[in-house]
Amino acid sequence: MVSLTFMLAIYFTFIINIPILSELNSILSKLDNVKVGFIISLPIFFTAAFNFLFNLFSWPYITRPFFILLLVVSSVVSYAMYNYGVIFDYGMIENVFETDSSEASSYLSAYSVFWTATMGVLPAFIVSLVKFKPVTRPIWFVVTKLLSMIISLIIIAIIAFFLYKDYSSVGRNNSHLKKMIIPTHYIYSAVKYINNTYFSEPIEYQQIGLDAHQSEKALKDAEEKPTLFVFVLGETARSHNYEVNGYNRPTNQHTRDLGMISFKDVSSCGTATAVSVPCMFSALPKSNYDKQIATNQDNFLDIMKRAGISLLWKENDGGDKGVARHIPLKEIARNVENQFCNGSTCYDMALLENFEQDVDNMPGNRMLTIHLIGSHGPTYFQRYPESKRFFTPDCPRSDIENCTTEQIVNTYDNTILYTDYVLSETVSKLKKLESRYNTALLYISDHGESLGENGMYLHGAPYSLAPEHQTKVPMMVWASEGFKKAKRLNTSCLAQAAEKNSYSQDNIFHSMLGIMDVETQVYNADMDIFSQCRRS
């Protein structure tokens, strides 16, 4: 059993931890002077550390199932980290636990299955065949185990004594390295998430904005011509790839002539949907956002509902992350096959079916939220139909790391262009309703995406380490003439602010309450993107 533990420690060092070894190689190759002893010590240090830790879990009856599970899960983590640059910190674990089956299946490919099978399943199968000798002398078994652990600690101590300065320097200058060690960091993050989610003491739900009500003018306008506001929540769209924000490709050819205002500098609250969406809808700013508090507190939808605004959420991205739990919600049935759905996923145009009927069923001033699947990867090619395949050659596969950079960017840009088409069609529907409603639309993405820059793909990187591609998101506003008149909104002023000022998803809570004329003490006009451009 002690021998198996040592062999597994070696396997995890040289095979499972290929991502961190590759990262270390990249870091050390850029340094002017690196001790040969430091380089040689790295695999020895990892092997000793893993040997010590693995011995803690290497006992009769639990050794086999523990390491079988550890090998399979670690191979999956290794695949994602090496091929996509994904780091499995707390935020990523949260995202994994909250991913639905349809979204999870999009990551499957022949390459990912082969990687997991050869690096995880095969060695796990070998472990299942290992025959352990019966422990006839328990004391000798424990002594042998302790001796192995003590030798490991001695090796670690010797390395620390002679090379502490080198380890400290590299570690402090590259703090993300500790988050790349498999399996220690993802297990730590998973245990922390499970504890916080299922075993922590529940927080009492807090209602805020109990004084919320619509302004007298808003209520009076609703009697003759109600407000119809469409809030479009995007998915995985990065500002960098928007033509209206300076990108050199026609990714906004459907909306660029509609008079939409694009906000050039908008930051997300997180780099994954599980963080950004609840944060965006809550009253908590990113600086002190706490999901537990946000989950157990009213968001701006709850406050709008209290003020008497009609609300509806239409879902095509696998879940509202709890923000629409108190309002009507319609989820697109992705298990059907029609012009928009293939039995597992649907194009976002499906969200506009029965649009007029949905609006008619909502009395008074109303807000419709539609949650797009947008540019969710890695199966970007499934986000747009063949007729909207504008940029070619694209990458019609989920293992995007095996496509060229040109193909990946083309496929991603097609998703941005298709979202632009959906937005233009939404505006078209709103224009047809202008005689009955004062109509407007706001579009914002939850987070961005990496497309291979610096070896990173997808999203979910720790915010402090995430590139701007993952944290800068598009935000666009369109308003009808009737809406601008009713809200006394100066769009020239708004366009100027959108060009010059920096905003974040912290502004959404207050901006939505403000533009819908909800009066409450929790509203802060200074955080409202519209307030400075509305005449009193």
Q: What is the pLDDT of residues 344-391, one digit of tens each?
A: 899 999 999 999 999 999 999 999 999 999 999 999 999 999 999 999
The full set of domains in the chain, from first to last, is: 2-198 (no CATH), 213-533 (3.40.720.10)
In angstroms, the first-to-last Cα distance of the chain is: 77
Confidence check: pLDDT of 283 > 70: yes
pTM above 0.95, yes or no: no
Provide the pLDDT for residue 318: 85
Confidence check: pLDDT of 105 > 80: no
The distance of Cα 348 from the centroid of its chain, to the nearest Å, equals: 19
3-state secondary structure string, 134-173? CCCCHHHHHHHHHHHHHHHHHHHHHHHHHHHHHHHHHHHH
Q: What is the mean pLDDT of residues 290-312?
A: 96
Compute the distance between CA of residue 504 and CA of residue 314 in angstroms, rounded to an integer: 24
Q: What is the mean pLDDT of residues 33-47?
A: 93
Provide the pLDDT for residue 65: 94
* Mean per-residue pLDDT over the chain, rounded: 94
Question: For residue 51, what pLDDT band results from cuts at 50, 70 and 90?
Answer: very high
Q: What is the pLDDT of residues 483-497, one digit of tens each?
A: 999 999 999 999 999
Write the burial class of residue 213 (CB in 10 Å: 0-12 exposed, 13-18 middle, 19+ buried). Answer: middle
Q: What is the pLDDT of residues 428-443, one digit of tens each?
A: 999 999 999 999 999 9
The closest alpha carbon to 58, from 123, 8, 120, belongs to 8
Decide: 258 and 428 in contact? Cβ < 8 Å. no
Confidence check: pLDDT of 511 > 90: yes
Q: What is the mean pLDDT of residues 96-102?
A: 77
Confidence check: pLDDT of 100 > 80: no
Provide the pLDDT for residue 335: 87
Confidence check: pLDDT of 229 > 90: yes
Question: For residue 184, what pLDDT band results from cuts at 50, 70 and 90?
Answer: very high
Provide the pLDDT for residue 202: 83
Q: Centre a 10 Å sphere on the Cβ of residue 165 and count the other Cβ atoms it contains.
A: 10
Number of H helices, E strands in the chain: 20, 13
Confidence check: pLDDT of 503 > 70: yes
Q: What is the pLDDT of residues 68-82, one digit of tens each?
A: 999 999 999 999 999
Q: What is the mean pLDDT of residues 455-466?
A: 90
Confidence check: pLDDT of 340 > 70: yes
Question: For residue 536, what pLDDT band results from cuts at 50, 70 and 90?
Answer: low
Decide: 507 and 529 in contact? Cβ < 8 Å. yes
Structure tokens at 85: 């640059």
Structure tokens at 346: 């649907």
Q: What is the mean pLDDT of residues 517-533?
A: 98
Confidence check: pLDDT of 54 > 80: yes
Provide the pLDDT for residue 197: 85
Confidence check: pLDDT of 49 > 90: yes
Write the burial class of residue 191 (CB in 10 Å: 0-12 exposed, 13-18 middle, 19+ buried). Answer: exposed
Compute the distance between CA of residue 249 and CA of residue 235 in angstroms, rounded to an integer: 20
The conformational region for residue 321 under phi > 0 = left, psi -120 to 50 = alpha, else beta, is: left
The residues with which 297 forms a beta bridge, in sequence order, are: 206
Q: What is the pLDDT of residues 395-407, one digit of tens each?
A: 998 888 889 999 9
Angle between helices 63-84 and 18-29 (to 10 degrees): 40
Provide the pLDDT for residue 32: 79
Decide: 316 and 348 in contact? Cβ < 8 Å. yes
Decide: 517 and 525 in contact? Cβ < 8 Å. no
The conformation of residue 459, written as its DSSP 8-state character, comes to S
Structure tokens at 21: 């070894």
